[in-house]
Structure 1
Amino acid sequence: MRKLIRGGTVVTASETYQADVLIEADKVVAIGEQLEASGAEVIDAGGCYVFPGGIDPHTHLDMPFGGTVTADDFASGTRAAAFGGTTSIIDFCLSNKGQSLREAIAIWHEKARGKAVIDYGFHLMIAEANDQVLEELAHVVAEEGIVSLKVFMAYKNVLQADDETLFKTLVRARELGALVQVHAENGDVIDYLTKRALAEGKTDPIYHALTRPPEAEGEATGRAAALTALADSQLYVVHVSCAQAVRQIAEAREKGWQVYGETCPQYLVLDISYLEQPDFAGAKYVWSPPLREKWHQDVLWNALCNGILQTVGSDQCSFNFKGQKELGRGDFTKIPNGGPLIEDRFGVVYSEGVHKGRISLNQFVDVIATKAAKLFGMFPRKGTIAVGSDADLVIFDPGATRILSAATHHMNVDYNPFEGMKVHGQVVSVLLRGEFVIRDKQFVGRPGFGQFIRRTPFRRP
Structure 2
Amino acid sequence: MRDFGFGFRKLRGQRIRTEWLCKRRCGCYNLDRTCALPSNSRSQLLNEPRIMERFAGLLMFPLFFVIVACFLVVSACSLGGDELICTVESQGLECSSQQTNKLLIQGGIVVNADFQQQADVYIEHGIIKLVAPNLKAVDGVRVIDATGKFVMPGGIDPHTHLAMPFMGQETCDDYFSGQAAALAGGTTMHIDFALPVDGNLAAGYQAWMKKAEESCMDYGFHMAISKWNDDVAKDMDWLVKEKGINSFKFFMAYKGSLMVSDEEIIQGFKKCKELGAVPQVHAENGDAVEEGQNRMIQLGITGPEGHSLSRPSMLEGEATGRAIRLAKFVNTPLYVVHVMSIDALDEISRARHSGQRVIGEPVASGLALDDSKTWDPDFKIAAQYIMSPPLRPAGHKEALQAALSSGILQLVATDHAPFNSTQKALGKHDFRVIPNGVNGIEERMHIVWDTMVNSGKISPMDYVRVTSAACAKIFNIYPRKGAVLPGSDADIIILNPNATTTISAKTHHSRIDTNVYEGWIMKGNIEVTVSQGNVVWEKGTLNVHRGKGRYVYMKPFSYLFDGLDKLDATYLTSLRAPVHRAA
Larger Rg: 2
Aligned-partner residue type, residue 304 of structure 1? L
Q: CA deviation at 1:36?
A: 3.1
Aligned-partner residue type, residue 180 of structure 2? R
Aligned-partner residue type, residue 42 of structure 1? V
In the alignment, which residue of structure 2 is the partner of 1:155?
254
- The question of 1:398 aligning with 2:497 is answered yes
In the alignment, which residue of structure 2 is the partner of 1:320?
420
Indicate the SS of the match to 1:257. Answer: coil
Indicate the SS of the match to 1:61. Answer: coil
- CA deviations 1:157-205 (Å, max 9, x no partner) are 1111111111111111111110011000000000011011112211010
In the alignment, which residue of structure 2 is the partner of 1:2?
102
Indicate the SS of the match to 1:172. Answer: helix
Indicate the SS of the match to 1:408. Answer: coil
Structure 1 residue aligned with 2:187, among 78, 83, 86?
Answer: 86
CA distance in 1, matches of 2:366, 2:374: 13
In the alignment, which residue of structure 2 is the partner of 1:72?
173
Aligned-partner residue type, residue 212 of structure 2? A
Indicate the SS of the match to 1:372. Answer: helix
- CA deviations 1:325-347 (Å, max 9, x no partner) are 00001100000000111110000
In the alignment, which residue of structure 2 is the partner of 1:172?
271
Contact 2:296–2:309 (8 Å) recurs in 1: no
CA distance in 1, matches of 2:236, 2:302: 41
Structure 2 residue aligned with 1:141, among 218, 232, 240?
Answer: 240
In the alignment, which residue of structure 2 is the partner of 1:209?
308
Q: CA deviation at 1:57?
A: 0.3
Contact 1:62–1:70 (8 Å) recurs in 2: yes
Distance 1:453 1:200, change over 3 A: same
CA distance in 2, matches of 1:356, 1:173: 39
Structure 2 residue aligned with 1:254, among 338, 343, 353?
Answer: 353
Aligned-partner residue type, residue 55 of structure 1? I
Aligned-partner residue type, residue 150 of structure 2? Y
Higher relative contact order (CA 8 A, sep 6+): 1
In the alignment, which residue of structure 1 is the partner of 2:286?
187
Q: CA deviation at 1:437?
A: 1.5
Aligned-partner residue type, residue 12 of structure 1? N
CA distance in 1, matches of 2:198, 2:261: 13
- The question of 1:416 aligning with 2:515 is answered yes
CA distance in 2, matches of 1:352, 1:305: 11
> What is the root-mean-square deviation of aligned Cα atoms in Å?
1.0
Contact 1:436–1:445 (8 Å) recurs in 2: no
Structure 1 residue aligned with 2:331, among 200, 220, 232?
Answer: 232
CA distance in 2, matches of 1:441, 1:178: 39
Structure 2: gaps (5+ residues):
1-100, 561-583
Structure 1: gaps (5+ residues):
none
Distance 1:70 1:98, change over 3 A: closer
Structure 2 residue aligned with 1:107, among 207, 212, 218?
Answer: 207
Q: CA deviation at 1:18?
A: 0.8
In the alignment, which residue of structure 1 is the partner of 2:120?
20
Aligned-partner residue type, residue 50 of structure 1? V
In the alignment, which residue of structure 2 is the partner of 1:222?
321
Contact 1:397–1:428 (8 Å) recurs in 2: yes
In the alignment, which residue of structure 2 is the partner of 1:132?
231
Contact 2:370–2:394 (8 Å) recurs in 1: yes
- CA deviations 1:229-273 (Å, max 9, x no partner) are 111111100000011111101111112212101001111111111
Contact 1:97–1:128 (8 Å) recurs in 2: no
CA distance in 2, matches of 1:450, 1:162: 36
CA distance in 2, matches of 1:97, 1:230: 30
Q: CA deviation at 1:98?
A: 4.2
Structure number with higher strand proportion: 1
Contact 1:327–1:335 (8 Å) recurs in 2: yes
Contact 2:334–2:358 (8 Å) recurs in 1: yes
In the alignment, which residue of structure 1 is the partner of 2:364?
265
CA distance in 1, matches of 2:153, 2:536: 14
Indicate the SS of the match to 1:50. Answer: strand
Q: CA deviation at 1:117?
A: 1.2
TM-score (norm 2): 0.77
Contact 2:503–2:520 (8 Å) recurs in 1: yes
Indicate the SS of the match to 2:529. Answer: strand
In the alignment, which residue of structure 2 is the partner of 1:364?
463
CA distance in 2, matches of 1:36, 1:401: 31
Distance 1:98 1:354, change over 3 A: closer
Q: CA deviation at 1:402?
A: 2.6
Aligned-partner residue type, residue 348 of structure 1? I
Q: CA deviation at 1:96?
A: 4.3
Contact 1:318–1:338 (8 Å) recurs in 2: yes
Aligned-partner residue type, residue 320 of structure 2? T
- The question of 1:55 aligning with 2:156 is answered yes
CA distance in 1, matches of 2:487, 2:268: 35
Q: CA deviation at 1:408?
A: 1.1
TM-score (norm 1): 0.98
CA distance in 1, matches of 2:559, 2:331: 12
Contact 2:317–2:347 (8 Å) recurs in 1: yes
Aligned-partner residue type, residue 305 of structure 1? S
In the alignment, which residue of structure 2 is the partner of 1:283?
383
Indicate the SS of the match to 1:395. Answer: strand
CA distance in 2, matches of 1:145, 1:350: 31
CA distance in 2, matches of 1:428, 1:6: 14
In the alignment, which residue of structure 2 is the partner of 1:305?
405
Contact 2:172–2:420 (8 Å) recurs in 1: yes
- The question of 1:351 aligning with 2:450 is answered yes
Indicate the SS of the match to 1:400. Answer: strand
In the alignment, which residue of structure 2 is the partner of 1:242?
341
Aligned-partner residue type, residue 465 of structure 2? D
- The question of 1:119 aligning with 2:229 is answered no
Aligned-partner residue type, residue 316 of structure 1? H
Aligned-partner residue type, residue 287 of structure 1? M
Contact 1:375–1:458 (8 Å) recurs in 2: no
Deviates more, 1:249-258 or 1:201-210: 249-258
CA distance in 2, matches of 1:437, 1:445: 6
Identical residues among aligned pairs (%): 43
Aligned-partner residue type, residue 94 of structure 1? L
Contact 2:196–2:202 (8 Å) recurs in 1: no
CA distance in 2, matches of 1:36, 1:44: 12
CA distance in 2, matches of 1:402, 1:429: 13
CA distance in 1, matches of 2:361, 2:252: 16
Indicate the SS of the match to 1:58. Answer: strand
Aligned-partner residue type, residue 317 of structure 1? A
